Structure 1
């Protein structure tokens, strides 16, 4: 007993002295008395040490099995396998080493595994080297440790050393090394060797080894080999099925991933969380929410509803399908969230264009102390990849640099896409060059950016650099490179890429095959493209369209027809691109006419007969085959003829020698190019004009805003004995529509059948609906639709929906949109117009819902685009386009124009910016409109004094119309703007449409809270004729006594403030007989009132309605330009009321002093520059009375119902509001 106690005492002192010397700081934890069970034995040691007795050495007597920590007490049986703390494991190892405790093979192997688990591979290698006899487990452990630590090369070196020493690796070594090949781009050959070795050793029967090999081939994109290997596996478990499913999903084939999921369920294999997450993500990629919900039911039954990875996948799926509300629902109810959860919800908002919501979630993420990682920032940057949100993206770029994540590859890739999609190619290129590390997506993104910007050589150079690296190329990369070789000059490079594609085994990919066919067709080697189609394992409509288009480009019509027949035999559906391509293959031979006629019949059966592209192709086909009768018949069937249609007919009739047809075609061409002067120059004599000539002339006048001339031409046509047809009335009703001539329009519509025997068609009904809708008579328009002689089509409902947007009628707008979507569920106009109605009503949530529905249905809004021809070159500009080489000069010019026209009275009308942003951003969005960008470019590059002609594919907005007017006056240039509806000729601050936008815009604002007819208006034409746009703001000056404030010079800001105070005191009174404030410019002796002085130059003025001061005039600008509002009203009166003109002349014909009763009125403004005169008008009492009733009624409506934001102004004077 004494000997034993002495040994215990000596061991304790020895261990204490060793560990306290710094070898291990964990010794007190291991050997402290509180951690040992046998406290009685320890007490004996302490007593003997106190008595000074010597203790005999006995290493290892103090065993670790006495320790209270189960990780340490289990050491004799389980070695280091139970230890979870690196410090604890290191202390135990030190204790064993210093106490001479010999480690058995199991303990040594677990020690190696422990060190490798804590990434201390150097210590693990040291322990491995000290093992005198290594068994298979020792080698397996060290190899697995190297793989786990990322030292893949060292793992393969150990494998070779293991084989040299005659030790056979087991399945765990193979599984580890195959996993190492999956994690590195440069170990593909090693993976092939491991496959061969495993097959030779007979390990492929093991499900773990085969599953690892299956994932290996899928990781490198060899899905054909992976699928074959999967089908040959003798045994499959959930890991095997899930691996193949994940590989298909990661390689861009979600359909196959879903198929594997279905087979997996059919085989009775239970899914795990990874299986569910993969198949749900695949449903999101396909935007198949219905299938995703079915999988969700299986998830809930299986008990994985609260799993984090499954919830993340659900957020991704709902976001991809446009169902952001359900994505929010899943996110809000997650019991715990990881970084992927935040990234998924940010990405969901980003995909649906909700940039502000993405920023809100990002802020919430930071407040939750969840640090943003590269994925979250990438999703956030992606949500800003538009021109409107570019400034947010650039701000996030700054944050990325600040927190040091700009070197992350995925962030750099997103920045490349951000600047590329925003039209900043140079910034995109700079972001790419600044990336220290680049992956495949980096190269591909930059190649796509180069091809989109016409930098084909740059794209090929990028591919060459990529091939010189060790990075793997995929089918998308090669497709982008082949697209850059679609010109004969780059055919050699295209062939080289094709050969490389064959070597890499990607030639069977559908996208690659389609791109190759397109490339060879455009380079004149269509036969090579035909051979590619024959060996393609899969073909779709894009494949056949590319082949047919290639034959057409290479002038092989017979081959194109043969390919068309093969396409139909192949069961591939034909679209309008196919039809246009095949019809374009006809050259001249008459023997093809029968084939063409049979295809024409097929077109009618398929429902493509009304498509304009198809009709133009049919027109060309018949013309080339010499069947001019059929071509003329198709041409006359066009409701709206395009430039292509007229060009074909010009060439056809010129070939026939028909001078009148050529003249008609030339007239229409000049009219559609905005030059009515040349139309009139080549106009035949009235006696020799055909019905087509009259129709072209009426249509030209209508399109250019000459509405009275259009009606006069129609009357002249009748007098000359030419009978109108349905096309004549379409043009005539269109003129009444754009001119606001409702009475005339309804009269012509009713007389079509009764007087002229012309059947009322859908085109004529559309004009009437549009005419009623413009005037706010929506109830009449709705009633007209129910009583139409023909069933309503999409044009009818689209016109009504557009009217609902203008008049803010949300209920009727929804009804019209519903009818429109029933006719065509993919009609983007229905969504866009209804979204505009909701935006005008302030229903931004409904706007977001509509945008999500468009996203889920893959419906895209037609982008705005403008063209301008300068120096015989057509330049195209989009919304906020910054891809032009002169972008810096263009936007600098826009800033200059902004300053210039503001001095002439221009104020941006932000009501045309239908985005839920602040006023500053709305104004900036307006200045990004494509027509403004095109105008700035034309002003920079065109000759002074020349006419600027701009074409736009959509309708011009009211703000751009106002801006063009002011620019034409400021720069003294004639500007012709052609939108989708009509021409606008701007010259000297005036437009040929008669200020349609300003007059109509104000009319809409005044009638926003009631039917215009109930306010005393007989129609928009009446409003236009009276010049009501300016009359409404000065109507009280006509009805009541007027206080005139004369301005000697351009007032300063201080003078203007004093004037405003004066105006408030006079304008805010509720008394019906109250005086109103008026201004007179002494420079030109003109009043801002009605009537003006005789002899004053007629001027339209530059005064405009503002959204802040309803009754305040822009004194500063008007005095500078010596323009007066009163003279404009006098000019209007000359056209409408000759008696009133005579009264005006009598009142101010040199007898002003005798006719006016002047009285000085002091308002407390002591300034020599300001004086007031009370002018009492007595001549126009009868005229004033009727107009005053209209004015008072409008004011009462505004007081009762409120007013739009752009008209709302509160005046607080003397306690009254």
Structure 2
């Protein structure tokens, strides 16, 4: 029989568990052995307490703690004497329910017990219950300490209890903890930052005597989260002057401000500090680094940062994909999205929205629909961010009905969704539907903003509703909700210009303070459409004053002179462009078939399937001419004879793209979609209408301005574009 004295020594030793294992006291028989091993006869209360304390401290599960507590009760030991030890043991293994039950039984609850319960509730994201416990603590007259306040201040910010937070702040001041205790000070700064009260956060931070990295980081994070990036930079500078060394959380936050402010030099400096401080392997600093480089347009640098990550998190993947899509690297963004999916990382709403933006920019409908399928499988189709991205995708791909299905499927429409749907209608030639949605906004409880006005004016522009556009424009001048910008004036100038009301367009520009080149170029384009050489010359002089090397304006003037047969002036403009090394963007059209992009340039015969394309074009020319098509040689802006002009029209990029699509699909498709970098020319527009009658297939063409839906010899633009 092992003596009690020997057992007490073993239980008190640091190798208690090892000793029990030597004696056959393993996990499997531990619970059953407690009763037979514990022989308390002849021991005093202090020795017995020490034995139980040792057992409690070595317990690993809720069952062990319950068995020890049961043994105490069965043997008449006052178990509440060790209430705090049992309480901490329960909390350590995550048994908050048993802990609270024991906590309620304690006759006298020290502030340490209250702190343990409150902090555990907060760790388990049950801040509301932590607040209730703190209020109960106040009612019982227990004075909080620095740990209590630093915990409960976080609970107040989680729940949004501003008044209670300020009340706790007052208590911290009374106890002298606001100034002297950096933990309480940091918690106050963090709380006020989450409430959006950065002025109060700054005042508290200034008053704390011994500032540390946690306090400064809380202040910087608060500034960043509240969009005060410049103030975050100032806090970092103050931190440096105080000699406080930043940690990876400080760097992670300040990099966000560097990206927002496009402070690339400071961002690179912080990158060096991250490497020097040994924080380079952290996922959060790397994610902030690649986001910063993306926002500063340094895509290659962001990719280099990403390549050094071993197991990128979802946040990192999302930052990379969104950054690539925003910097015109849509193909790489979609490639990385596919790579992420192969890595079994499940995307969230922001990842999917970024991938959809990339699809929209490239107008890749097939891949966008594949992502839509993933969205449905994940049950994210009701998310507003994804809804807006899907509407934009289908709108940019000319699928207005699908865009409307997504819009109608959303439970709660906000202003962004309505604006996106309205813009999809406007650019696809559904002007009346766009205006109807605009009229419904009041019934939906939504106030239009500047984006709304752009969409509405675009709808009026495409429909030729000049007076309606002017009425809407005048309504919002002086409105407190909408700030009229030069973009809105450009819309109105285009509305007047396309309708031939050039004098009114010029008069409107004169009302703008410092009109930019876009406004004058818009009017110059209208002069070309209506052949007003006098005004065009005057406008061209204004454009040259603002920007002598503006390619778009010079090309417009050259085309205007060419349309009037003023070849000497055409030669003069082109000579000027050559001398200044300016080039005209070549007319291009492209189609996406089977995930592959096929690009065509006007007059380009280099395509490997040109023989087949040429055959299709010649066959179509015969059929459409029989239906009444006459080549409009006035759109050939070159000094050629009539026969050469007609032949050159045959090989415009739109015609090449459509002919290739018909050959590639063998006519077994219900719709052909082509995309063009410039406006569709008048001859091609008429030709495509005849082609749809011949082949019985809808053709959707997206040019630089809008969509044209050709079907059965009619275009959605009603020949007004």
| Kept in 2: contact 1:215–1:243 (CA 8 A) | yes
TM-score (norm 1): 0.38
Equivalent residue number for residue 466 of structure 2? none
Secondary structure of the residue aligned to 1:270 is coil
CA deviation vs aligned residue, 1:1059-1087 (integer Å, no higher than 9, x gap): xxxxxxxxxxxxxxxxxxxxxxxxxxxxx
Q: Pick from 401, 404, 416: which aligns with 1:445?
A: 416
Equivalent residue number for residue 298 of structure 2? 323
* Unaligned ranges ≥5, structure 2: 9-14, 44-49, 424-433, 455-472, 490-506, 539-556, 602-616, 664-721
Q: For 2:78 and 2:245, how far apart are their aligned partners in 1?
A: 43
1:307 pairs with 2:234: no
| Kept in 1: contact 2:359–2:367 (CA 8 A) | yes
Q: For 1:1026 and 1:989, how far apart are their aligned partners in 2?
A: 10
Secondary structure of the residue aligned to 1:913 is strand
1:176 pairs with 2:151: yes
| Kept in 2: contact 1:350–1:382 (CA 8 A) | yes
Equivalent residue number for residue 91 of structure 1? 63
Equivalent residue number for residue 337 of structure 1? 312
Cα RMSD, aligned residues only: 5.8
Residues 1:286 and 1:153: Cα distance change in structure 2 (over 3 Å): same
Residues 1:388 and 1:99: Cα distance change in structure 2 (over 3 Å): same
How much does 1:146 deviate? 2.0
Q: Pick from 47, 50, 53: which aligns with 1:76?
A: 53
TM-score (norm 2): 0.61
| Kept in 2: contact 1:459–1:481 (CA 8 A) | yes
Equivalent residue number for residue 767 of structure 1? 574
1:39 pairs with 2:23: yes
Q: For 2:581 and 2:239, how far apart are their aligned partners in 1?
A: 49
Secondary structure of the residue aligned to 1:797 is coil
Equivalent residue number for residue 569 of structure 2? 734
Equivalent residue number for residue 542 of structure 2? none
CA deviation vs aligned residue, 1:1031-1056 (integer Å, no higher than 9, x gap): 99xxxxxxxxxxxxxxxxxxxxxxxx
Q: For 1:232 and 1:444, how far apart are their aligned partners in 2?
A: 43
| Kept in 2: contact 1:116–1:149 (CA 8 A) | no
Secondary structure of the residue aligned to 2:178 is coil
1:204 pairs with 2:178: yes
Equivalent residue number for residue 396 of structure 1? 371
Residues 1:253 and 1:970: Cα distance change in structure 2 (over 3 Å): farther
Q: How does 1:126-165 map to 2 (within 5 A)?
A: 126-165=101-140
Secondary structure of the residue aligned to 1:401 is helix
Secondary structure of the residue aligned to 2:141 is coil
| Kept in 1: contact 2:185–2:208 (CA 8 A) | yes
| Kept in 2: contact 1:450–1:459 (CA 8 A) | no
| Kept in 2: contact 1:429–1:446 (CA 8 A) | no
Larger radius of gyration: 1
Residues 1:97 and 1:482: Cα distance change in structure 2 (over 3 Å): same
1:992 pairs with 2:668: no
1:584 pairs with 2:556: no
How much does 1:209 deviate? 2.1
Residues 1:93 and 1:323: Cα distance change in structure 2 (over 3 Å): same
How much does 1:332 deviate? 1.5
Equivalent residue number for residue 691 of structure 1? none
Q: For 1:176 and 1:293, how far apart are their aligned partners in 2?
A: 36
How much does 1:322 deviate? 2.3
Q: For 1:963 and 1:704, how far apart are their aligned partners in 2?
A: 31
1:797 pairs with 2:473: no
| Kept in 1: contact 2:384–2:417 (CA 8 A) | no
Equivalent residue number for residue 58 of structure 1? 39
CA deviation vs aligned residue, 1:22-52 (integer Å, no higher than 9, x gap): xxxxxxxx99x9972453999xx9xxx9xxx
Residues 1:35 and 1:279: Cα distance change in structure 2 (over 3 Å): same
Q: How does 1:243-322 map to 2 (within 5 A)?
A: 243-322=218-297
How much does 1:310 deviate? 1.0
Paired positions, count: 557
Q: For 2:422 and 2:253, how far apart are their aligned partners in 1?
A: 33
| Kept in 2: contact 1:425–1:449 (CA 8 A) | no
| Kept in 2: contact 1:287–1:321 (CA 8 A) | yes
Residues 1:404 and 1:298: Cα distance change in structure 2 (over 3 Å): same
CA deviation vs aligned residue, 1:449-479 (integer Å, no higher than 9, x gap): 4786665666566667xxxxxxxxxxxxxxx
How much does 1:391 deviate? 4.2
Residues 1:921 and 1:189: Cα distance change in structure 2 (over 3 Å): farther
How much does 1:220 deviate? 2.9
* Unaligned ranges ≥5, structure 1: 9-29, 50-54, 63-72, 465-479, 488-517, 530-541, 550-579, 586-602, 617-638, 647-663, 673-698, 711-731, 738-763, 771-780, 786-795, 807-910, 927-960, 973-986, 1001-1020, 1033-1099, 1114-1217
Q: For 1:189 and 1:964, how far apart are their aligned partners in 2?
A: 77
Q: For 1:767 and 1:329, how far apart are their aligned partners in 2?
A: 43
Residues 1:114 and 1:1031: Cα distance change in structure 2 (over 3 Å): same
| Kept in 2: contact 1:178–1:194 (CA 8 A) | yes
Equivalent residue number for residue 477 of structure 2? 522
Secondary structure of the residue aligned to 2:303 is helix
Q: How does 1:442-591 map to 2 (within 5 A)?
A: 443=414, 445-446=416-417, 449=420, 522-523=477-478, 584=511
Secondary structure of the residue aligned to 1:252 is coil
Q: For 2:39 and 2:414, how far apart are their aligned partners in 1?
A: 68
Equivalent residue number for residue 569 of structure 1? none
Equivalent residue number for residue 1210 of structure 1? none
How much does 1:197 deviate? 3.9
Q: How does 1:1127-1206 map to 2 (within 5 A)?
A: none
